[in-house]
Amino acid sequence: MDYMTQMDAARRGIITDEMEAVARKELVDVEKLRKLVAEGKVVIPANKNHISLEPCGIGEGLKTKINVNLGVSKDCCNIEAELEKVRCAIKLKADAIMDLSCYGKTEEFRRRLVEISPAAIGTVPVYDAVGFYDKELEKITAEEFLGVVEKHALDGVDFMTVHAGINRETAARFRKNPRLTNIVSRGGALLFTWMELNNRENPFYEYYDELLNLCRKYDVTISLGDACRPGSIKDATDASQIQELIILGELTKRAWEKGVQVMIEGPGHMALNEIVPNMIIEKKLCHGAPFYVLGPLVTDIAPGYDHITSAIGGAIAAANGADFLCYVTPAEHLRLPNLEDMKEGIIASRIAAHAADIAKGVPGARQWDDKMSEARRNLDWPGMFELALDPEKAVRYRDESRPENEDTCTMCGKMCAVRNMNKVLNGVSPL
């Protein structure tokens, strides 16, 4: 291999196996894809140690991707239960899975996850540091934080969220501009606390070049975390968020200089009317790097239904520039999601992503809908089920309420408009 990263290869005019695979799946020209990877507008997270990976591309001109969060915590540390969620996420066609484990020795779960998952795997190394070293947060050294990054890279993690933008300058801006919900990013809060307790610069910012060298060695895509993402619509598009975004744009250029692939993470909670301007600002300040958003949740009043509030925001965000949606489940802000919560979150995010792809003119997106409409016109129930985003639920709903006439459903019966129009247009009395 005469290149270190996908970006290196693309810049040298080399089309990798991963680029070929992505181009086939996305129905795009591979040479066009190579140029986008070279420019940093598309990333292909593909750690050299993730043997089971089926590569996916994230970025300009490609299908909107979705990510699923899972992992063990102190209150819920059942590895087998989390692995069952992994299998379900893969079945439901999640594009990426993030292991957010934050309790104990997480190595076993992470390695098993990488082994069985064809989807890209992401982690947040700062979560793992406290358990890995079994010491107080403030006692962890910069070298030890980087040690966890290398450990995750060795295990085959494809992308890592690193909150390098919450440096002392950003922290000062946050202090000068009080928020309703302060810092809600778990990783951002941990690093802000570490900086306060040690009166030092964020280690991931101070030793950013060393971090990039590790990412380059294994071709880990760096996902620049948004420590100052808004945790309420009140805090959206404030000074802290924009300050950090400026820093992330600078860090993006430094990563590209080393041939390291970059994604940018974004909000958060945000009112509908602020989503489009935020997509424009992010793409401008971060030079067209792929944008990865959590939601955004468009209202703060719906605990138990935040998969819906995030899908609304996600569809708008993706239709206007976001490339990667982090799913949100009905359990958001309430508890660790169970298997059913996870499924609801995945389906909601996939609907949002697909709706955005139609708006963006992504190859193949609208054709899927046209095929479904054709099956509906023909009252082709097996065809509808085959095309459905969640075939199992569609089949179950029909089976739970069988109609008198099999070419109808129990909503309209013989008054079904589709059935009657088909008949009358063919010269047959419908009733």
Higher-pLDDT residue of 72, 399: 399
Q: Which of 36-50, 231-245, 416-430 has the lowest mean pLDDT?
A: 416-430
Q: How far apart are CA 193 and CA 206, in angstroms?
A: 16
Q: 48-360 has which fold?
A: TIM Barrel (3.20.20)
Burial class for 382, CB neighbours closer than 10 Å (0-12, 13-18, 19+): exposed
For residue 131, what pLDDT band results from cuts at 50, 70 and 90?
confident
Known binding positions: 69, 98, 127, 163, 185-187, 226-229, 265, 269, 292, 333, 409, 412, 416
Tokens of 206: 């101070």
**Mean predicted confidence (pLDDT) in 154-168:** 98
CA distance readout (Å), 412 to 206, 403, 404, 416? 65, 9, 11, 5
Q: Which of 60-69, 129-138, 317-326, 377-386 has the lowest mean pLDDT?
A: 129-138
Residue whose token pair is 């809908």: 369
Q: What's the confidence (pLDDT) of residue 105?
A: 66
For residue 168, what pLDDT band results from cuts at 50, 70 and 90?
very high
Q: What's the confidence (pLDDT) of residue 313?
A: 98
- CA angle (39 as vertex; 209, 215 as ends), nearest 5: 30
Known binding positions for [4Fe-4S] cluster: 409, 412, 416
For residue 4, what pLDDT band results from cuts at 50, 70 and 90?
confident
Residue 362 amino acid letter: V
**Mean predicted confidence (pLDDT) in 118-135:** 92
**Mean predicted confidence (pLDDT) in 129-152:** 93
Is the omega angle on the peptide bond into residue 230 within 30 degrees of 0, that is, cis? no
pLDDT for residue 203 is more than 70: yes
**Mean predicted confidence (pLDDT) in 242-261:** 98
**Cα 400 from chain centroid (whole Å):** 34
Q: Is the dihedral of CA 24, 55, 229, 208 positive or negative?
A: negative
- Please choose, from the candidates 253, 201, 251, the residue with its C-alpha nearest in 3D space to the C-alpha of residue 224: 251
pLDDT for residue 1 is more than 60: no
CB 253 within 8 A of CB 83: no
Kindly give the pairing relationship between strand 58-59 and strand 42-43.
antiparallel
Find the length of the chain.
431
- Written in H, E and C, the secondary structure of 173-226 is HHHHCCCCCCCCCHHHHHHHHHHHHHCCCCHHHHCHHHHHHHHHHHCCEEEECC
pLDDT for residue 9 is more than 80: yes
Q: How far apart are CA 160 and CA 152, in angstroms?
A: 9
For 335-386, the DSSP string reads S---HHHHHHHHHHHHHHHHHHHHHHT-TTHHHHHHHHHHHHHTT-HHHHHH
- CA angle (231 as vertex; 230, 232 as ends), nearest 5: 90
- CA angle (125 as vertex; 121, 130 as ends), nearest 5: 135
Q: Is the dihedral of CA 78, 224, 350, 95 positive or negative?
A: negative
Contacts of 260 (CB under 8 A, 6+ apart): 5, 7, 212, 215, 216, 220, 221, 222
In tens, the pLDDT along 308-362 reads 999 999 999 999 999 999 999 999 999 989 999 999 999 999 999 999 999 999 9
Q: What's the confidence (pLDDT) of residue 121?
A: 98
For residue 405, what pLDDT band results from cuts at 50, 70 and 90?
confident
pLDDT for residue 61 is more than 90: yes
**Mean predicted confidence (pLDDT) in 111-135:** 93
pLDDT for residue 117 is more than 60: yes
For residue 78, what pLDDT band results from cuts at 50, 70 and 90?
confident
For residue 416, what pLDDT band results from cuts at 50, 70 and 90?
very high
pLDDT for residue 16 is more than 90: yes
For residue 215, what pLDDT band results from cuts at 50, 70 and 90?
very high
Known binding positions for substrate: 69, 98, 127, 163, 185-187, 226-229, 265, 292
**Mean predicted confidence (pLDDT) in 279-298:** 97
**Mean predicted confidence (pLDDT) in 27-36:** 98
Tokens of 81: 């239960």
Tokens of 98: 């993030």
Domain residue spans of the chain: 48-360, 366-425
pLDDT for residue 23 is more than 90: yes
Helix 339-360 and helix 79-91, axial crossing angle in degrees, nearest 10: 30
Q: What's the confidence (pLDDT) of residue 104?
A: 67
Q: What's the confidence (pLDDT) of residue 307?
A: 97
**Mean predicted confidence (pLDDT) in 201-229:** 97
pLDDT for residue 212 is more than 60: yes
Known binding positions for Zn(2+): 269, 333
For residue 2, what pLDDT band results from cuts at 50, 70 and 90?
low
